Amino acid sequence: MKIERTRYIPHHTEERATEDYVCYIDKDKLIAICYVGKATKSTFYYRYRTLEQLEESVSENLRRITEFCDRKREEKAKQAEANKNFDIRNYLKVGDIIQNSWGYDQTNQEFYQLLRFRGTKQIVVREIAQKTVHKDGYSSMSCFVLPEKDNFLTDEKEFTLTCKAYLSEPFFHICNPKDFYYFHLWSGKEAYCSWYA
């Protein structure tokens, strides 16, 4: 059963609120507690020595919160604008190798070949084989791998990946809507792989 969390609001407080935060101030006990957005965990909760210290600290903290929220809104607007005009065909081409690295106690590598585009924001890929590259000085439970272009795995089917604009290089993200993995364009270099677990 999920526990519903609620905000702690001290009694007899003065409220200062904007669209970004709500701050409760008790000038008698010299306490200030602030929540950002819809959060139930406070961003700050302090007791001060003097009323002057409380006012200065709260004003500075609220100014920083406002600046942070303004930056987030600006980034969100830029991201939305970038996605509106985004076309993955400007960054990838058919035949490109897409890589996925994942693992907790080990590092797994998977390589996929781009077969075709589906609109401006999706690519269709299929997994390809990889070959091992041994290097001196590494563990017997690790190696480096390289993709083998056009050598498709027979038991793997095609699937679609979604692409979104990104505000800095490489200017796009590749993800699988069905899981949390993020893919990227293969760098052209051998990739580290391990199987410690």
Confidence of residue 133 (pLDDT cuts 50, 70, 90): confident
More confidently predicted of 172 and 47: 47
pLDDT at 2: 64
Task: State the pTM of this model.
Answer: 0.71
Confidence of residue 154 (pLDDT cuts 50, 70, 90): confident
Pair of tokens at residue 123: 């690519």
Element (H, E) at 117: strand 108-118
Decide if 27 contacts 51 (C-beta within 8 A).
Answer: yes
Rounded average pLDDT over 54-58 = 96
pLDDT at 77: 94
Give the whole-angstrom CA distance, residue 52 versus residue 149: 68
Give the whole-angstrom CA distance, residue 183 versus residue 125: 11
Rounded average pLDDT over 39-57 = 95
Distance between start and end Cα atoms, the chain = 33
pLDDT at 197: 56
Q: Is it the case that residue 118 has pLDDT exceeding 80? A: yes
Decide if 49 contacts 28 (C-beta within 8 A).
Answer: no
Confidence of residue 147 (pLDDT cuts 50, 70, 90): very high
